[in-house]
């Protein structure tokens, strides 16, 4: 799995003008799934994200996790994270998992984030044409790949 995470002041995702998930301060996760990914990798990634210390303490140091600040996590499926642009002018997405495999892993990841103790978890609609709005905080943007 590959995740692009952004520390946000707020974020929301909508499908056909209807908000399907939103959070205030927390983390926006753009999640891509590869063909060989497993639920165990989703659990590892969920724990890593929930415990990642990317929020500032009183001294301005990144010492707090989303759990520490009582923040939320918004998860959006993003198969394009496995897009390959090395050849030609149009990306190839053969590195992304087929939806039959990717959707259960995406849904499981959302459940695993919740199981980590995150108070507010929002999710997009897998395979939907989503509009994502966010107010980046910092900005802080990181890329995480599962082992």
Catalytic residue among 79, 109, 112, 126: 79
Q: Is 79 a catalytic site residue?
A: yes
Q: Is 55 a catalytic site residue?
A: no
Q: Would you say 92 and 82 are in contact if contact means Cβ atoms under 8 Å apart?
A: no
Catalytic residue among 41, 78, 112, 116: 78
H or E element that contains 68: helix 66-69
Q: Is 103 a catalytic site residue?
A: no
Which residue is it, tokens 């520490």?
68
Is residue 135 packed enough to be buried (19+ CB in 10 Å), middle (13-18) or exposed (0-12)?
middle
3-state SS of 72-125 is EEEEEECHHHHCECCCCCCCECCCCCCHHHHHHHHHHHHHHHHHCCCCEEEECC
Catalytic residues: 78-80
């Amino acid at each position: 799995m590959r995740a692009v995470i952004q520390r946000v002041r707020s974020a929301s995702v909508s499908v056909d003008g209807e908000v399907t998930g939103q959070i205030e301060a927390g983390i926006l996760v753009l999640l891509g799934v590869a063909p060989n990914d497993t639920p165990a990798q989703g659990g590892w990634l969920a724990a890593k994200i929930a415990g990642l210390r990317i929020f500032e303490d009183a001294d301005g140091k990144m010492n707090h996790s989303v759990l520490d600040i009582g923040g939320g996590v918004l998860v959006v499926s993003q198969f394009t994270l496995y897009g390959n642009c090395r050849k030609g002018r149009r990306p190839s997405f053969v590195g992304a998992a087929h939806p039959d495999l990717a959707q259960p892993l995406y849904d499981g990841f959302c459940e695993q984030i919740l199981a980590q103790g995150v108070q507010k978890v929002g999710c997009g609609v897998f395979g939907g044409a989503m509009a994502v709005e966010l107010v980046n905080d910092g900005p802080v943007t990181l890329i995480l790949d599962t082992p």
